[in-house]
Every structure is written in C-alpha cells, then in structure tokens.
Amino acid sequence: MNSTDGDFAGLSHIEGQGDESRSRMVDVSSKPSTAREAVAEARVQFPAGLREQLLAGQGAKGPIQEVARVAGILAAKRTGDLIPMCHPLGLDFVEILFEQAADHPDQLLIQCTARCQGPTGVEMEAMTGASVAALTVYDMTKAASKGIQIVAVRLLSKKGGKSGVWSAS
C-alpha cells in the first residue's frame, strides 16, 4: 500500500479513507467461539561463546530462563492491555520454551505457544509472549555484553478461525 493513497482496504483495524481514516477495534461479538492456537518465536543473538556461558547457570539477577518464561507468560496474558486494538482474551494455555538455534549456535530460540477458545485469534498473544521473554533475557544478560541482540520475532503458525491453518515457510 502506498502511504499517500489512503486506501486501507483489507486492514480490519482502520476504517475510512485519507484524512477521514481512523482506527477501530473490530467487533467480534457475532463471531463463533472456536479453538485457537498460535506459535511464535523470538531469537536472541549472543556474541560468540557467550550464550552457553550465560545460560549454564543462574545469572546475577536469578535463573535467566525461568524469569524470562514467567515474564513471557504474564505478557501473553496481558496482550490486550499492551496492544491497543487487541481484544482481551482468556487464554487457556501459554507455554514458553527455550533451545539453542540449530542454524546459529550463538542464538537462543524462544518459542511461545498460546491457546484459547474464543472469537478471535491468539497470534498477538504468542508474539507478545515470545517478545517479552526475549526482552527479559536481554535485560538479565546485558551486563555481560551490550552486543546481545534480539534479531527476530515472527509468527510460526496459527490454527482456528475462518482462515484455518497457516504455517510460516
């Protein structure tokens, strides 16, 4: 979309055109409640050799992964408070998992799965959970190196709703 043409067709959170456009929360009151699931990941890049050293034990601020796991779960549950047009959802399940990236030995993969029964998807909840877990890892390890980076956050898959199943390639 060209930012000057004012055409927001297909964007559900914007109505009107040009100077008359405005944001809105989508009305999901008439949508059926269905099972929803989304999986997102964040990647934290550490300088060479630092990931293993930092995550081998407890950091100065406590057990890094456990603190990040709790932060990610809490963030997923509060997504409706953080992202203005997100609907508050009663999540039935949130899980945060950590592993070394197979393709980058100095990257930590953080995966968040969110599930609920509801009228709208949980993609934002999964992405928020993964993002805040990554930010917490950064916060707890930044004293060791300012070169630590959050290099990616993305949706991996979603299930449910009228669009059905989607997976990243």
Which residues does the annotation mark as catalytic?
139
User: HEC profile for 2-40?
Assistant: CCCCCCCCCCCCEECCHHHCEECCCCCCCCCCEEEEEEE
Are the CB atoms for 168 and 157 separated by under 8 Å? yes
User: Which residues, 6 or more positions from 132, have their beta carbon under 8 angstroms from its beta carbon?
Assistant: 71, 72, 74, 75, 76
**Cα dist. 27→12, 13, 86, 113 in Å?**
10, 10, 11, 25
The C-alpha atoms of residue 164 and residue 36 are separated, in whole angstroms, by: 9
Other CB atoms within 10 Å distance of the CB of residue 57: 8
Closest among 52, 37, 49 to 112, alpha carbons compared: 37
